[in-house]
Amino acid sequence: MSAELAPTDLYPSRVGEAPRWLDRRDPVVHGAAGDGPLSADLLTSYQAQGFLTSPLMFSEAELAPVQAELERLGRDPAVAAMPETITEPDSRALRSIFAVHVHNPVLRALCHHPRLVGVARQLLGGEVYLHQSRINFKPGFAGRSFDWHSDFETWHVEDGMPRMRAVSCAISLTENATYNGPLMVIPGSHRRFLACVGETPAEHFKQSLKRQAYGVPDRESLAQLVREGGITTLTGPAGTVTFFECNLMHGSNSNISPLPRHNVFMVFNSVENTLVDPYCGLAPRPPYIAERARAEPIPYRPERGAGP
């Protein structure tokens, strides 16, 4: 599927001299109770907070092959040399491996798991495909921070995602504790859009995947969001799954503990929200960051009795 010309930009960002608050033009929840495993109460919570966390959604036995594959990938010099592999900005420690659902059968099976796809379909109101997948390594002592940001701001500006109809899913492969750089979110921050400042440089992804400098909120706006919603630190044992809305502000601290924090991330996008030309006017980012050609719906058959 080739990119289409960008339609009217509903969320212009990086085009002004000062940050601006814009009204959200899209629903938060596109489906309804009865369309999937989430109850009406859980959908209401996601609508208000912008995220849902389900401890131990995957058992130790289910995670074992994924954890073994992660260890293998971390030791493979061929993997370290791939363009999909990102190292930390100040060392050769692994930071991320992208497009794991494309080339790795074990991780592809996890990303296509009906337990996850069922929730994504319900939240997004229909069939979904994988816009992006990655392992985020955060090794002990070496794992660096991820600055506060809304994913949608980048996906919209640099990838051409037209509307807020995507959801991220994070699966903990190790314990996410308060001390090893867990995901932090600002509840309710998804309900409006913060247009950022700064003209996007060409091939910005070569720097932003290590340390993001454009598309990050200014301090005053971020402080306002925290005054309104606070900060929630998402901790839990291996097997914990978090779904969070594409416009939710989130980030994480560096890991200065000796214990690693490894998570698998995947982004489900509605098949009715496929990418157009980037709104920044630059060339699209590589397909391992933003899927364009393989936007086919993920086959789905619900598990019996499954639900978060």
Instruction: Dump the DSSP string for the chain.
Output: ---B-----SS--S-BSS-EEEE--S-S--S-TTSSS--HHHHHHHHHHSEEEETTSS-HHHHHHHHHHHHHHHH-HHHHTSTTEEE-TTSSSEEEEE-HHHH-HHHHHHHT-HHHHHHHHHHHTS-EEEEEEEEE---TTTPPPEEEEEHHHHIIIII---SS-EEEEEEESS-B-TTS--EEE-TTGGGEEEE-BSPPPTTTHHHHTTS--SS---HHHHHHHHHHH--EEE-B-TT-EEEEETT-EEEE----SSS---EEEEEEEETTS--BS-TTSSPPPPTTTS--S--PPPP--PPTT---
Whether residue 232 is contained in a domain is answered as yes
Whether residue 279 is contained in a domain is answered as no
Q: What is this structure's pTM?
A: 0.92
pLDDT of residue 39: 96
Q: How many domains does the chain have?
A: 1
pLDDT of residue 1: 40
pLDDT of residue 144: 86
Query: Average pLDDT in the 301-306 region?
Result: 74
- Print the domain residue range for 31: 20-270
Question: Which of 16-30, 191-205, 255-269 has the lowest average pLDDT?
Answer: 191-205
Whether residue 144 is contained in a domain is answered as yes
The domain that holds 238 is classified in CATH as 2.60.120.620
Whether residue 6 is contained in a domain is answered as no
Query: Average pLDDT in the 167-183 region?
Result: 96
Whether residue 281 is contained in a domain is answered as no
Question: Which of 5-14, 46-55, 101-110, 208-217 has the lowest average pLDDT?
Answer: 208-217
Convert the pLDDT of each residue in 87-143 to its tens digit.
877 777 888 999 999 989 999 999 999 999 999 999 999 999 999 999 998 888 888
Per-residue pLDDT band for 40 (boundaries 50, 70, 90) equals very high
pLDDT of residue 303: 82
Convert the pLDDT of each residue in 254-292 to its tens digit.
999 999 999 999 999 999 999 999 999 999 999 999 999
Whether residue 126 is contained in a domain is answered as yes
Task: Report the percent of the chain where pLDDT is more than 70.
Answer: 93
Whether residue 286 is contained in a domain is answered as no
Whether residue 8 is contained in a domain is answered as no
Query: Average pLDDT in the 72-92 region?
Result: 85
